[in-house]
Amino acid sequence: MADHHHHHHHGHPPDGPGGAGDQLEVIKEQDRLLPIANVGRIMKQILPPNAKISKEAKETMQECVSEFISFVTGEASDKCHKEKRKTVNGDDVCCAFGALGFDDYVDPMRRYLHKYRELEGDRAASSRGGGGGPAGAADPASASAAAGPSPSAASAGHFMFGAAMDRPDNNSSAGARPF
């Protein structure tokens, strides 16, 4: 069984986020957490328009998501280490979600990874071709499909899994948020 070692890298509480006195502390703080602006924006996008979010809630969310990143990374790294590999890759990350109990994340992440690798392949092919002639060709079926669910995609905003999940019913996809 994998040892779920916790990373206690937040030794000092986030007092005085605007610490103008200590430059090093500010830099360290910035490195440790995701930007509060990004976190706040995603929270706003997911909640009803009239919902208000206190700054303290955003700061707590910053802590939670940083712990999430370290937790998943640690699990993925453990798998890497056991297999005598040194570089954590996408498959390690996908396996980590399942191992840590985030079962709802495994399928969406595998689709995302598949889509990413497809794009990488297309980009490499286009780069080798020297010109984006066939790559730029319009795909009628794809364009038509894009036109239809455009409003849903717009409302979904940052949830890019509409296409990755390959689900025709966007509402169902939105309703089936993991948690």
Which residues, 28 to 57, sit near another protein by CB under 8 A?
31-43, 45-48, 50-57
Minimum CB–partner distance for residue 175 and another protein (Å): 7
Residue 98 is a binding residue for another protein (CB under 8 A): no
- Give the x-and-dash track for 111-150 against another protein (CB under 8 A): -xx-xxx-xx-xx------------xxxxx-xxxxxxxxx
State the minimum distance, in angstroms, from the CB of residue 45 to another protein: 8
Q: With b meaning 16 or more CB within 10 Å and e meaning fewer, what string describes 59-77? A: bebbeeebeeebbbebbbb
Residues 6+ apart with CB under 8 A from 105: 97, 178
Nearest approach in angstroms of CB 54 to another protein is 5
- Applying CB under 8 A, does 74 fall inside the site for another protein? yes
Q: Which structure tokens are listed for 53?
A: 């979010």
d(CA 36, CA 30): 10
Q: Alpha-carbon distance 158 to 78, whole Å?
A: 30
Nearer to another protein, 46 or 169 (CB): 46
Check residue 175 for interaction with another protein (CB under 8 A).
yes
